[in-house]
Every structure is written in structure tokens, then in C-alpha cells.
Amino acid sequence: MTSGASISGPAASGPASGGAAVSGELYGLGPIEQVPPGEGRSFGVNNQQIAVFRLRDGSLRAVSAVCPHRGGPIADGTIDQTEVLCPLHQHAFALDTGCSTTGAPPLQTYPVFVDADQNIMLQLE
Amino acid sequence: MTAMASRTARSASKDSRRRLVVIGNGMAGARAVEEILARGGGAQHRITMFGDEPYGNYNRIMLSHVLSGDEDAGDIFLNSLAWYQENNITLHAGIRVERIDRFAKLVFSDDGRATPYDVLIIATGSRSFMPAVDGLYTAGGLLRPGIFAFRTIDDTQNMVAYAQQDHHHRAVVIGGGLLGLEAARGLQSHGIDVEVVHSGGHLLNTQMGPDGGAVLRRSVEALGIKVHTNSRTTAILGTDKVQGVQLRDKPDIACDMVVVAAGIRPNVDVAVTSGLPVERAIVVDDQMRVPDEDEIYAVGECVQHRGEVYGLVVPVWEQAAVLADHVTGADPSSAYLGSRTATKLKVAGVDVASMGLQAPERDTDEHVVFSEPSRGVFKSIVIRDSKIVGATLLGDSRKVAYLTQAFDRGLPLPEERVSLLFDIGGPGEEAAVAELDADAQICNCNGVSKKAIVETVKGGCNTVAGVMDATRAGKGCGSCKLLVRQVVEWAADGSVAEDPTSAYYVPGVPLEKAALMKAIRQQGLRSVSAVFAALAPGGAEDAKSKMGLASLLKMMWADRYIDERDARFINDRVHANIQRDGTFSVVPQMKGGVTTPDQLRRIAHVADKYSVPMVKLTGGQRIDLLGIRKEDLPKVWADLDMPSGYAYGKSFRTVKTCVGKDFCRYGTGDSTKLGIEIESRFQGIESPAKLKLAVSGCPRNCAESLVKDVGVVAVDGGRWEIYIGGAAGAHIRKGDLLATVDSPETVKLLTGRFMQYYRERANWLERTYSFVPRVGIDHLRSVIVDDSEGLGAQLDAAMQASVDNYVDPWTERGDPFTPGQFRTSLPLEVLPQVPVR
């Protein structure tokens, strides 16, 4: 199972801005041991705050760390194989797409994986 | 937000869809677009919307809730910015349209843009009416600081900010209509003394007659809002800041702020400037078109239809549907014939409904009136030719649905007119729901009819929550939720109504609690992941179920429980209560509410050292340190060197006590000692929901034992009463007397036995105030006191195992249980901060 990639970010259908995106820069976030199984930890990456979750099957998911509802710390949320619950008001978000199943605006998702040296590697757009 | 729709876009575009431009992004404009999209209009039109306010569309009706602090401004949005993107709508938010060129078909906006259109919708809404009063404006023509209109999110937030400044204590609201009363009530919740100045002879004079107005006045004044009727404001006093208002022929009223809620006026400037027909508002025909303009429509509070201008949401919804029928061509025969306005709402906490005439007009009109001012109830119905032509109901909304229906449809009325006002042994609520016409509107915020709900149910959606999600019924102000439930139950024929998962202990494992516990025991499932693997469909984890399972397994297995930290809620992972800004609150244990100078010194030291933003006494007789950063938690615990008070968990919380017989001259039992012993014994045990206890030393009940999950009262003769299932929070219930016993030891035994029975039998998150009446006090007494089922020893042993297994979680401070257990999850960005007091 690969990490979640965004299906259609807001930029996909927005007005043509002409801004060229730097594609796929990789960031190493350090050893996987930082994130206990079934939990999340937040990382500051290139001035963005990212919540990285380690699912119980060993795979990783990365989403934006701030709940779009009222700013809750997503990394403190409870997860299962498919979704994360924000700890403040229990809004639920699919870990693969960032879409909320409870009516909140979506989280951003980022490709993330564990490399051969057991380091967390995150790709920013 | 780039300038796609510029002058050049017209020729450059190859998009053959018609250009639909909407002036106004309020409830009418956005609703019209939603209706157009629902009719497939997105494929026919490229849609551009202009909104004066720099936001998406929000529910203006809810502004009074934002003012009172019941809702966050962010929660009242109907269409988020994402909605516009998803529907490919170009939104120019914060940009005002100034003029329309009907011949060149261009819209000119204040950013210098000219936007071409093929179809135009004007939905400019209304603005607050500002009466001629001296001192309203600055020299620059703006409202002076301290004077507010009440129309927009910005108005509301500015008002809240101003009201919360410490030196502002008094407000005058000009206008005693719906908005004025809502403003007054909202300001009160910020600790402001409010007086309402109303030029009319009675409150709500557009909705009701003088008799109803007088009853309402009584109810409003009972809330502490002073009302001045027949009072015209002539000036706002004060030079640099507001100091009061001047009334004609009456004494001045001193105040620090003024809210003007003297009605609304349609925004017609654009239409007038552009040469469109405007009388009291923009004139439209039955197709919602502006006369003689084939491609210009108008909708909402800015229109005048057959001489009527509406200021309520229901007519706007009806107009938007007709407009969309014509814009899309979905139904060329569709026509808007005007609305019979029935208002049903809560004004300053009082239920108000009004429709049609306020009072009889002809000699032959019947008038049925009931007035009970002491309870704030007033009901008046005007009947003509055996049909309702007007009704006013105040303080009791039970018959409103039926009356609205009878008014709208001209239904035949019962011979016995009094049954219009009351249910007198007649058909109950279900019949009332059955009587409702299919077109009757159930949810007035989102315009959902009975038919829409019934069709959703017939379409296979048979849970109340599911229907609410699918139709948006009940998702506005929420006041119709009960009615939505009744309609769903009626449509589902009473048999199906509950969420199938509601009987399960947790939603992700399809078993009731008893069956779940049996399976867990038989299969020896000692961890949450093992339960999912063995008992959940497909072995799938479920985040919503983890916390409940963790609690249950810990209770069942005690020291043999395999504690997977990811199954815990964040509070239980870091042993503190998460706050709205992501910081935590720390409540050290203070058994029985008794503390020492040494503890207080340490608490004060911690508060200083960590710059704790708020130190608060709790209702459970403890001290709460709020705003602690996650990474500081272990250090705070170390410096406190006190055990956890468990103020964060679904667990035994605290025992409140009175001073007891050592000091109190009335005390009959040593309540303090017993309270401390109970807390020492049961500290931290997990349970389906929190447990709050109390021990009072005499029947004066200073520790409020009658409204606790378990409450103990010493009575004369060395005896103790034990009450269970009491509550005084969101729910108020006096506990039921379980037993009267003669020793503190027996109190502790029966308390423990009851709590264990509750732990084993109650549903997840079911408080004792629900559990005790559900199971029945007689049954509980026989099981717990008389041991009729022989469970006593077993319950006592299970509780003892939990007690023996207690470990103060704050000892994890020296050695984090998981990597990064106390690492911050707070974003780098500035979060909404809890205000520092």
C-alpha cells in the first residue's frame, strides 16, 4: 500500500495562476521510531506543519497538521486504517485523501514513505 | 482570485456556456445558485458571483448565536470557499458592484472591472436602517465607535469585541423587533446591562398585537432586560465616546454602547443607478424577472413582488426555486405567487410564532385567546369563515406546526376551538405529524419539506442522523430536530428509527455490551487490536471505537490488560485535558477538596514558573491550571509532586465534601473523612462515563450530594443515605435513594458495588443519570443492597482488582511511555488562542 496522494487539490480547478510548482522535493524527517505504531507526530517541514501517522500495518500517512475546523492539533488525533479523528471536536478525515466525512473542509495530504534506512521521507509539492 | 472575467475574456473564451453573473453572495444569491446547480445549470452556465462581504455565504439567521457566543463565526457558513471552487464558480468576495449596463450587458464593480453577462441575477439583500438620530456618525460619515448595526459577521464580531472590553457595562439597543431583542439577549451573555428603546407601543409590533407584546415584555424584563416603549431616540450622547442616548420627552439613558436594530431597507442602489424599476424595492414579476428585462432576475430581500417586500428566509427560498426553474428552463410554467408568511422562532429565549392577522378585523371574525403572563404564555387565533387567518403564539410552540399548516392550507378546524390552542386528550404528536401536509416545511433554515424527508426515508434512509445528513434538515439552528425525528419515525412507520449501531457498545464492533464482554472473555482478547481482529467486520480497526474498548478492557482485565497507547484518546495518552488551542489543563488530586498550605505554595510556584494563563477553582473543589503546553506536562507534574486528579478521563473524578462535623456546628457525620477515604479507594478507576461524587455531613447538603453520580448524606443517628444517578449539568436529576446504612464502611462497600455494576452494565458514555432510570432503582437496590442475584462478592472482587491496579499516571513524567509522548503537536502557525483573563 502506498501513501496517500491528493486526487484533486484546490489548485487543479482554480483559476489559471501561472505559478510554476517545484515538483516533488523530498524531505527526510528522521527515524521512523519517532512515531509509535497507531499514533501521529507533527513535524515542521519547510515552514509547513505536517502530521505523520504510522498505521498499525506499518504504512505511513501524512496530512496537514491543523484541523481546518477550529485549528485542532491533528497529530494528537485517534486513527484507524482509513481515518483520523481530530481531538477537539471529532471531525473525521480520510487519511488517503484528506476529505472530511463529517462536513469539515479537507486536510492537505502528502506522499510519505519509509526509506531503506528506516527514515521517514516526505514529499512536498 | 485572478481576473479571469475581464473585458478580453469575452472574445478570448471558447466556452460556449452562457455567462451567469450574480450580484450578491448572501443567502438569496447563493441559494439561487444552488437551485440552478441542482437543475443542471452548471453545464449551461459559467457562474460568477460578486459579494460585498469578503467571505463565503453564511447563515445570517445565526448571527444572534454568534453574538451570544453559542456559535463560532466559522460555524455558520453555508457555503465555504471550497464550495465555490468545487462548482467552478468564480467568486469576487469583498467587491461591490456599482452599476449595470443593460444594453452592453456589463456589470461594473468597484475594483474597476467590467464583467460581461448573458444572464444576471440581482440579490443585493438589505442593510440596516439607520433612523435620523443626532450623533450617529463621525464627520467622515462612518458610525461612531461604540455604535453598531447588526447585520453582518463583521458587525457582530465588532460588537462582541467591544462588549468584552472591561470598561463597557451598559448598552442601549434601539429597536424592539426581532433583531433588537436578539441583540439585547446576546449582549447580556457578555455581562452587559441592556436596555431596549422601542419607538412602537409594544415589542415585536410587526408580528403581534399589544396583548401579546405585553406578555412578551414581561418575559423579556424577567431576563433582566429593561424595556422602554413609545420612546423615540433623538440623539446619541457623548463627544469622543458614547455616553448615553437622549429620548424625546423622557430622561436620558446612560450607556457605553448603542446597537441600532431599527429595521432593514432593501439595497436598491445598483438597480436605481442602472435604470431598473424600483418602488419600495426592485420590482419583479411572477417569474422573478425584472419587467421588460428578459435576462435580468432579482431575488430575496431586495425585491418587491406584487407589492410585497419580504424580510424572512422562507419566501427567499421559494423565490430562488422559481428563479432557477426559469434561468435553467427546467420548468417554464413555474410561477411565484407570493408567500403567506408564518414566522416561527426563538426571540431572546422565548418561542414566538406569528402568522397572518394580529387581531380580528371584522365583526364576524372569531377570536380565540389564552393569556397566562406569569408563565409568559400567550396564544391568539383569528378565525374567519372557519379558517385560520391569523395566529400569535408566545412561550409555547407545541401547536405551531399544526397551526401553520392550517393557516397555509386553509384546513377545516375542529368544532371545539380550544383544541387549536391545547392538546386536550386529542390526537398526540404523531397524529399532528400525520396531519401535516406533504409540502409543509419542517426545517425553516434549510427549507426542507415533510415530503423531502418522507421520500428520503422511503428511499431507504431510515435513521434520523442519516436523514438529517441527506436533506440538511435540522442542520441550521437545530430547533426543528424533534420535529424531524417525529417525521422520520412516522414515515418509517414507527418501526425503524434508530441507528443500527446505537445498540452496539461501540460503533465498530457489532455487539451489545454483554455479548461483547462474553466474547472478549471467551476468546481471551486482552488488547484493543485483538478485539478488532477477532470481532470487527473484516477485522477492521475503527477510530471511533478505540477509546470505549480501551476503557472496557482495562476494567475487565485490570493488570492483565495489554495497554496499546494508540487506542487511548489524547487526554489519556498525556494524562491531561486538551483545550481548544491544543494546550492542556492540569488538575492535581485534592482529596475531598481538602488542601494544605504546602500544596498551595507548590501550585502557585508552578503557575508562576510556567506562566499559566489561568488558575481556576473547579466545581469539584480542586484547582485547575489551564493552558499548559504539552511539552511542559512532565515538568509541571514533577514540580507539583501531587497525584493526578483524573479531570480528563472517562473515570472516577472527585469527591466533593462539606466541612463535616469537626468544624461545622450542624454536622452530624464526618463527611470530610469519608469523602477522602472514598476518593483514596476509587481514584482513577475507568468507567463508561465520568463519575462525580459527594459526601455531605448533614441534610443541609452543602456538597450537593443529591445531584451526584453517587452522593452520600449523613443523617442523625450516625446513619448515611446513599443516592445514585443524580446530575446537575446539561441534565438535572435528583439521585434515587439506594440505601440508608449505619457505617462508613458499608457506604464504601455499596458505593464500590454500584460503580462496578455500572461499569459492567452501562453503555459507553452513558452517565448514571441515564443508567439508573433505565435499569430501575428497585432492581439496583435488590442487586446491590440485597444481593438478590448473588453478584455481590463478584462485583466487590472485580472492583478490588481495579483498585489494586491503580498507578498514578503522572509518574510517567520521568520516563515517557512512547517516543515523543509529550512532543508538541501545536502548529507553527498561530492558533485561535484562548483569551487570557
Sheet of strand B226-228: strand arrangement: B147-149, B257-260, B170-174, B193-197, B226-228
Return averaged pLDDT per consecutive 10 residues of chain A, 125 residues in all. Answer: 34 33 74 94 88 95 93 95 93 93 88 94 89
Best of B115, B562, B566 to substitute, by most chain A Cβ atoms within 10 angstroms, is B566
Query: Any chain B CB within 8 A of the CB of A45?
Result: no
pLDDT band at B484 (very low <50, low <70, confident <90, very high): confident
Closest CA to B826 of A74, A73, A88, A90: A73
Residue of B nearest to A47 (CA): B828
Spatial CA neighbour of B565 closest among A88, A36, A42, A91: A36
B177 and B240 in a common domain: yes
Query: Please, are residues A64 and A42 in contact by the beta-carbon 8 Å criterion?
Result: no
Distance from the Cα of B569 to chain A's closest Cα (Å) equals: 6
Q: For residue A113, what is its C-alpha cell?
A: 514513505
Backbone angles phi, psi at B66, to 5 degrees: -65, -40
Residues B685, B779 share a domain: yes
Are B214 and B153 in the same domain?
A: yes
Q: pLDDT-derived band of residue B84, with 50, 70 and 90 as boundaries?
A: very high
Enter the C-alpha cell of residue A42.
Answer: 507533527
The CA distance from B538 to B502, in Å, is: 20
Domain boundary (B262, B284, B310) is at: B262
Q: Are residues B560 and B708 in the same domain?
A: no
Give the CA distances from residue B757 to residues A101, B334, B363, B559, B653, in Å, rounded to whole numbers and listed in that order: 36, 63, 68, 19, 17
Asked if residue B223 and residue B318 are part of one domain, the reply reads no
Please give the Cα distance from B25 to B30 (Å, whole number): 6
B266/B274 Cα distance (integer angstroms) = 16
Closest CA of chain A from B827, distance in Å: 6
Alpha carbon distances (Å) from B584 to A59, A88, B617, B647, B831? 30, 12, 16, 11, 14
At residue B140, the pLDDT reads: 85
Q: Do B581 and A71 touch (CB under 8 A)?
A: yes
Distance from CA of A119 to the nearest CA of B (A): 15
Residue B430 has pLDDT above 70, yes or no: no
| B302 and B233, same domain (yes or no) | no
Mean pLDDT (whole number) for B663-689: 92
Q: Which single residue is written with the C-alpha cell 484562548?
A: B834
Rounded to an integer, the average pLDDT of B10-17 is: 64
> Domain locations in chain A?
33-124
| Whether residue B735 has pLDDT greater than 60 | yes
Percent of chain B with pLDDT over 70: 94
CA distances, B682 to each of B549, B620, B634, B750, B772 (Å):
21, 16, 24, 12, 20
Domain count for chain B, please give it.
Answer: 4
Identify the CA nearest to B20 among candidates B123, B112, B127: B123
Q: How confident is the model over B495-511, as a mean pLDDT?
A: 76
Q: Is a pLDDT exceeding 70 seen at residue B423?
A: no
C-alpha neighbours within 13 Å on the C-beta side of residue B291 = 11
Stretch B162-189: mean pLDDT, rounded? 91
Residues B219 and B273 in one domain: no
Do B671 and B787 fall into the same domain? yes
Mean per-residue pLDDT of chain B: 88
CB spacing of A49 vs B829 below 8 angstroms = yes
Extract the C-alpha cell encoding B69: 457566543
Q: Per the domain annotation, does B437 fall within a domain?
A: no
* Number of neighbouring beta carbons within 10 Å of residue B103: 7
**Residue A20's pLDDT is what?**
35
| Residue at a domain's end among B328, B346, B375 | B328
ipTM of the complex: 0.82
Distance from CA of B385 to the nearest CA of A (A): 49
Quickly count: other Cβ atoms within 10 Å of residue B370's Cβ.
15
Scanning every residue of chain B, which has its alpha carbon at the shortest distance from the alpha carbon of A99? B82
Cα–Cα distance for residue pair B93/B24, rounded to 1 Å: 9
Nearest residue in chain A measured CA to CA from B85: A14
Examine the pLDDT at B43 and tell me if it is beyond 80.
yes
* Interval B275-300: pLDDT, tens: 999 999 999 999 999 999 999 999 99
pLDDT tens column, B637-655:
999 999 999 999 999 999 9
Of B488, B448, B356, give the one whose Cα is nearest residue B409: B356
Q: What is the CATH number for B86?
A: 3.50.50.60
Is the model's pLDDT at B214 over the cut of 90? Answer: yes
HSE-CB of A95 using CA atoms within 13 angstroms: 28
Of A66, A78, A87, the CB nearest to B827: A66
Asked if B94 and B229 sit in the same domain, the reply is: no
Chain B residues inside the 8 Å CB shell of A69: 74
Does A108 contact chain B (CB < 8 Å)?
Answer: no
Residues B674 and B778 in one domain: yes
Between CA B42 and CA B45 the distance in angstroms is 5
Residue B202 covered by a domain: yes
User: What one-character-per-residue DSSP string does A80-111 give?
Assistant: -SSEEE-TTT--EEETTT--BSSSPPPPPEE-
Q: What pLDDT, on the 0 to 100 scale, is given for residue B96?
A: 94
Calculate ∠ Cα B27-B31-B37, nearest 5°.
Answer: 155
Average pLDDT over residues B800-818: 90
- In the numeric block, which cell numbers belong to residue A122? 516526505
B655 - beta bridge partners?
B693
Residue B272 lies in a domain: yes
pLDDT for position B808: 93
Which pLDDT does position A23 carry in this prediction?
A: 55
* Residues B198 and B295 occupy one common structural domain: no
Question: Could you say which of A42, A66, A78 has the minimum Cβ distance to residue B569?
Answer: A78
B545-557 residue pLDDT tens: 999 999 999 999 9
Query: Residue B831 is placed in which grid cell?
Result: 492558533
B304: amino acid identity, one letter: Q
pLDDT score at B3:
43
Asked whether residue B405 is assigned to any structural domain, the reply reads: no
At B424, is the pLDDT very low, low, confident or very high (cuts 50, 70, 90)? low
Query: How far is residue A112's CA from residue B376's CA, in Å, rounded to a whole number?
Result: 62
What torsion do the CA atoms of B101, B104, B109, B113 make, to the nearest 10 degrees? Answer: -160
Instruction: Give the integer Cα–Cα distance in Å for B282 and B280.
Output: 7
- Answer yes or no: do B820 and A78 touch at CB < 8 A: no
Counting other chains too, the contacts that B105-111 makes at CB distance below 8 Å and 24 or more residues apart are: B105/B295, B107/B21, B107/B23, B107/B50, B109/B50
Strands of B609-660, DSSP E = 614-617, 623-628, 652-657
User: Are residues B194 and B111 part of one domain?
Assistant: no
Is the minimum CB–CB distance between A36 and chain B shorter than 8 Å? yes
| B578 → closest Cβ in A49, A66, A88 | A88
Instruction: Check residue B834 and give its pLDDT.
Output: 46
Q: Percentage of residues in chain B with pLDDT exceeding 90?
A: 63
User: A60 and chain B: CB distance < 8 Å anywhere?
Assistant: no
Measured distance CA(A86)–CA(B379) in Å, rounded: 46
pLDDT-derived band of residue B123, with 50, 70 and 90 as boundaries?
very high
* Residue B459 domain flag: no
- Taking CB atoms and an 8 Å limit, are B82 and A106 in contact across chains? yes
Distance from CA of A14 to the nearest CA of B (A): 6
How many CB atoms within 10 Å of residue B598? Answer: 9
Compare B400 and B228 and report the one with higher pLDDT.
B228
Coil, helix or strand for A65?
coil
More confident residue, B823 or B46: B46
A80–B542 CB contact, under 8 Å: yes
Listed in sequence order, the residues at least 6 apart from B57 whose beta carbon sits closer than 8 Å to its beta carbon are B25, B26, B27, B29, B30, B51, B77, B78, B79
- The confidence score (pLDDT) of residue B720 equals 95
If one counts every other C-beta atom within 10 angstroms of the C-beta of residue A59, the result is 17
**In whole angstroms, what is the distance from residue B427 CA to residue B660 CA?**
54
Residue B386 domain flag: no
Cα separations in angstroms, B226 against A61, A80, B493: 58, 55, 48
- The predicted pLDDT at position B417 comes to 82
Query: Does any domain span residue B307?
Result: yes
CATH code of the domain covering residue B777 = 3.30.413.10
Q: Which of A33, A34, A73 sits opposite B825 (nearest CB)?
A: A73
Among candidate residues B568, B584, B618, the one where a domain is terminated: B568
> CA of A125, closest CA in chain B: separation in Å?
19
CA–CA separation, B593 vs B620, rounded Å?
7
pLDDT, position B240? 81
B790 has a pLDDT exceeding 90: yes
Q: Scanning every residue of chain B, which has its alpha carbon at the shortest distance from the alpha carbon of A69?
A: B74
Per the structure, the complete domain to which residue B735 belongs is given by 655-807
Check A35 against B820: CB less than 8 A apart. yes
Residues in B whose CB is inside 8 Å of some CB of A read 1-2, 4, 72, 74, 80, 82, 85-86, 88, 90, 508, 529, 540-544, 546-547, 564-567, 569-571, 573, 578, 580-582, 818-820, 823-829, 831-832
Q: What is the mean pLDDT of residues B476-502?
A: 70
Measured at the CA of B173, the angle between CA B170 and CA B176, to 5 degrees, comes to 140
**pLDDT band at B356; cut points 50, 70, 90:** confident
What number of other Cβ atoms are within 10 A of residue A18's Cβ? 6
- Separation CA B543–CA A109 (nearest Å): 19
Which pLDDT belongs to residue B355? 87
- DSSP 3-state of B629: coil
Residue B183 lies in a domain: yes
More confident residue, B313 or A32: A32
Of residues B570, B820, B824, nearest to A34 (C-beta):
B820
Least confident of B395-399, B432-436, B529-533, B579-583: B432-436
Amino acid in the structure at residue B295 = E
Check whether domain A33-124 has CATH 2.40.40.20, yes or no:
no
Q: Could you read off the pLDDT of B559-580 as tens digits, one per residue?
A: 999 999 999 999 999 999 999 8
pLDDT reading at B497 higher than 80: no
So what's the pLDDT on residue B76?
Answer: 86
Whole-angstrom Cα distance, residue A55 to residue A112? 12
Alpha-carbon torsion (B84, B89, B94, B96), positive or negative: negative
